[in-house]
Structure 1
Amino acid sequence: MYGLIAKMRAMCGERDALAALLLEATTGMPGCLSYVIAQDPADADALWVTEVWVDAAHHQASLELPAIREAIAQAKPLIAGFEIRIETEPLGGSGL
């Protein structure tokens, strides 16, 4: 499996809009076992994204899906940057 954990910073005041866009756009992606969007309770502009995929190839392929490409285009103006990006190799767990 392939995993990714990222801390994303929204433009000031845009976290809720960015979270809503990500939640809507990331359903039904082939090979995606888990995609979790979480608010950072200590940072009003930060989101944490935790992904688990069948493999890295499925993650990469998802970036070419028309719905994902459109979501990325819509999200760009709402994103101030990425602070942390960690790749992992999930071993398993609840729901996987």
Structure 2
Amino acid sequence: MHGLIGKMTAAAGKRDELVAILLEGVHEMPGCLSYVVAHDPKDADAVWITEVWDSEASHKASLQLPAVRAAIARAMPLIAGFGEGATTVPVGGHGLG
């Protein structure tokens, strides 16, 4: 498995709009086992995204999907910056088999 955890900061007051875009079509990404977007309770503009994929190749392929590319294009103007991030190797957990 392939995992990603990252922090994204929205432009002031745009977090909910950004979250809505991030959550569109998450069920239509082949190989995506889990995709969670969460508010950062200490920063009103920040979100954390936690992803688990069946492979790194599936994640890379998802970035070429027309719907994902369109969502990225719509989200970019709402993003003020990217924070911490990590690549992980998930070994199991609820919902991951």
Is 1:25–1:71's contact at 8 Å kept on the other side of the alignment? Answer: no
- Cα deviation code 1:55-81 (max 9, x no counterpart): 100000000000000000000000011
Structure 2: how far apart are the matches of 1:68 and 1:26? 9
Q: Please, what TM-score do these two structures have when normalized by structure 2?
A: 0.96
| Number of residue pairs aligned between Structure 1 and Structure 2 | 96
Runs (5+) with no aligned partner, structure 2? none
Structure 1: how far apart are the matches of 2:57 and 2:14? 31
Runs (5+) with no aligned partner, structure 1? none
Runs of 4+ more than 3 Å apart: none
- Alignment-derived partner of residue 77 in structure 1: 77
- Alignment-derived partner of residue 33 in structure 1: 33
Q: By how many angstroms is 1:25 displaced? A: 3.4
- Alignment-derived partner of residue 15 in structure 1: 15
CA root-mean-square deviation:
0.7
**Identity across aligned pairs (percent)?**
62
